[in-house]
Chain A
Amino acid sequence: GAGVSQSPSNKVTEKGKDVELRCDPISGHTALYWYRQRLGQGLEFLIYFQGNSAPDKSGLPSDRFSAERTGESVSTLTIQRTQQEDSAVYLCASSRTRGAYEQYFGPGTRLTVT
């Protein structure tokens, strides 16, 4: 089927506003991951879901970040009271199941906080 999709592809927001980023994983993939990629940097792991459960949220940068997932489908990453340092590309990936199986990445959402 289709690959991982993310929306919006680009988001410009003012400092202090809340944003919501969406990820649609590959159908049937039970594991879903969020990463952040700052300009010129590698990927920073944020959180993963197995089904709709996120066992470890310690990778989220601050309490302004939250994520949820409905069943084994759509996930949303919410950033409250955005700051300029939140500007980055947010990438979502899914894999067939939990584990270090190959992860399939979406195109990302480029977030710019002005």
Chain B
Amino acid sequence: AQSVTQPDIHITVSEGASLELRCNYSYGATPYLFWYVQSPGQGLQLLLKYFSGDTLVQGIKGFEAEFKRSQSSFNLRKPSVHWSDAAEYFCAVGAEGGGADGLTFGKGTHLIIQP
């Protein structure tokens, strides 16, 4: 069965500093990988996705993520964070071709931005 691990429950970053959120997945075949952001009281918004091709994917709001098959990782990065980036971030994996089990999500990383 597929699984996603986000090792950091909380991360605190100063405004303007760079950010990297870690995500490791376990899946036997080619994974479809996603990063979602959830602001307080809001639904989930898709930041970016990886299906195939270039392993460095660009998303919205200045985020990017790199798929590393050898490390089973899909870490999210941003060169310079803004206070509005404070939110909960979820990494998710889906099965190629779909399946009855939807997306498997990590438990999330809570990002705190210090002024």
Interface membership of B56, Cβ < 8 A: no
Which chain A residues border B36 with CB–CB below 8 Å? Answer: 105
- B63 within 8 Å of A by Cβ? no
Taking the complex as formed, is A25 at the interface, i.e. its CB lies under 8 A from any CB of chain B?
A: no
Does any Cβ of A come within 8 Å of B87's Cβ?
no
Contact count band on B: 20 to 34
Decide: B32 and A48 in contact? CB cutoff 8 A.
no
Q: Residue A4 at the B interface, CB < 8 A?
A: yes
Any B CB within 8 A of the CB of A43: yes
Complex: A75 Cα to B90 Cα, angstroms: 25
Using known A-B contacts A45-B101, A48-B102, determine if residue A91 contacts B32 with beta carbons closer than 8 Å: no
Question: Complex: how many Å from CA A102 to CA B100?
Answer: 15
> Contact between A4 and B43 (Cβ–Cβ < 8 Å)?
yes
A-B contact count (CB 8 A): 62
Contact A107 B98 (CB under 8 A): no
Contact of B90 among A42, A45, A93, A101 (CB under 8 A): A42
Q: Which of B11-19, B69-77, B78-86, B103-111 contacts A (4 or more CB under 8 A)?
A: B103-111
Query: A76 to B15, alpha carbons, bound, how many Å?
Result: 42
Interface residues of A, CB < 8 Å — how many?
A: 25
- Within A86-103, which residues are at the interface with B (CB < 8 Å)? 91, 93, 98-103
Interface contact A104-B46, CB-CB below 8 Å: yes
> What residues of chain A lie closer than 8 Å to B106, measured between beta carbons?
42
> A107 CA to B41 CA in the complex, in Å?
8
Complex Cα gap A59–B103 (Å): 12
A63 interfacial by beta-carbon distance below 8 Å = no
Q: Are B49 and A107 in contact (CB under 8 A)?
A: no
| Complex Cα gap A107–B44 (Å) | 7
User: 30 A-B Cβ contacts within 8 A?
Assistant: A41-B107, A42-B90, A42-B107, A42-B108, A43-B90, A43-B92, A43-B105, A45-B103, A48-B100, A56-B100, A56-B101, A59-B101, A91-B43, A91-B44, A99-B94, A99-B97, A100-B94, A100-B95, A100-B96, A100-B103, A101-B98, A103-B46, A103-B102, A104-B46, A105-B43, A105-B44, A106-B43, A107-B41, A107-B42, A107-B43
Q: Ordered nearest first, which 5 A-B pairs have the shortest CB separation?
A: A100-B94, A99-B98, A56-B100, A100-B32, A45-B102
